[in-house]
Structure 1
Amino acid sequence: MKLRLSVAALVLAPLAAHATVYQQILPEQSRIRFNYQQMGVDMDGAFTSFNGDFYFDTDAPEQSKVELQLALSSVDTGLAEADAELEKSEWFNSAAYPQAIFRAETITSNGPSRYQVQGQLEIKGQQQAVNFDAVLNTDGEHATLVGQLPIKRGDFHIGEGPWANFDVVANEVTIDFSIAVAPAN
Structure 2
Amino acid sequence: MQTRLLLASLGLMAATAAPLVSAVEYKQVLTDKSAIAFSYKQMNVPMDGAFKRFTAQLNFDPAQPAKAQAAFDIDVASIDVGSAEGNEEVAGKLWFNTKAQPTARFVSSAVKPLGNNKFEVSGKLTIKGKSLDVSAPVSFKPEGANGVFEGAFAIKRADYAIGEGMWADFGTVANEVQIKFRLLASAGAASPKK
Runs of 4+ with >6 A deviation = none
1:39 matches 2:52: no
Q: Aligned partners of 2:34, 2:130: CA distance in 1, in Å?
A: 25
Query: Aligned ranges for residues 141-152 of structure 1 at < 5 Å?
Result: 141-152=145-156
> How many angstroms does 1:184 deviate by?
4.3
Q: Aligned partners of 1:33, 1:151: CA distance in 2, in Å?
A: 13
Structure 2 partner of 1:125:
129
Contact 2:40 2:176 (8 Å CA) reproduced? yes
Which of 79, 91, 95 aligns to 1:91? It is 95
Structure 1 partner of 2:3:
none
1:139 matches 2:168: no
CA RMSD of aligned residues (A): 2.0
Which of 112, 130, 134 aligns to 2:116? It is 112
Unaligned runs of 5+ in 1: none
Structure 2 partner of 1:181:
185
TM-score, normalized by length of structure 2? 0.84
Q: Deviations over 1:71-130 (max 9, x none)?
A: 000001120100010100100001011011001100011002110111010000111100
Structure 1 partner of 2:53:
49
Contact 2:23 2:63 (8 Å CA) reproduced? no
Q: Aligned partners of 1:180, 1:50: CA distance in 2, in Å?
A: 13
Match for 2:62: what amino acid?
T
Unaligned runs of 5+ in 2: 1-6, 190-194
Q: Aligned partners of 1:163, 1:30: CA distance in 2, in Å?
A: 30
> How many angstroms does 1:48 deviate by?
0.6
Match for 2:99: what amino acid?
A
Match for 1:158: what amino acid?
I
Q: Aligned partners of 2:185, 2:23: CA distance in 1, in Å?
A: 14
> How many angstroms does 1:52 deviate by?
2.0
How many residue pairs get aligned? The number is: 174
1:169 matches 2:173: yes
Contact 2:35 2:181 (8 Å CA) reproduced? yes
Match for 1:110: what amino acid?
L
Q: Aligned partners of 1:184, 1:75: CA distance in 2, in Å?
A: 31
Structure 1 partner of 2:4:
none
TM-score, normalized by length of structure 1? 0.88
Structure 2 partner of 1:23:
27
Percent identity of equivalent pairs: 36
Q: Aligned partners of 1:86, 1:137: CA distance in 2, in Å?
A: 34
Name the SS of the counterpart of 2:135 in structure 1.
strand
> How many angstroms does 1:183 deviate by?
2.1
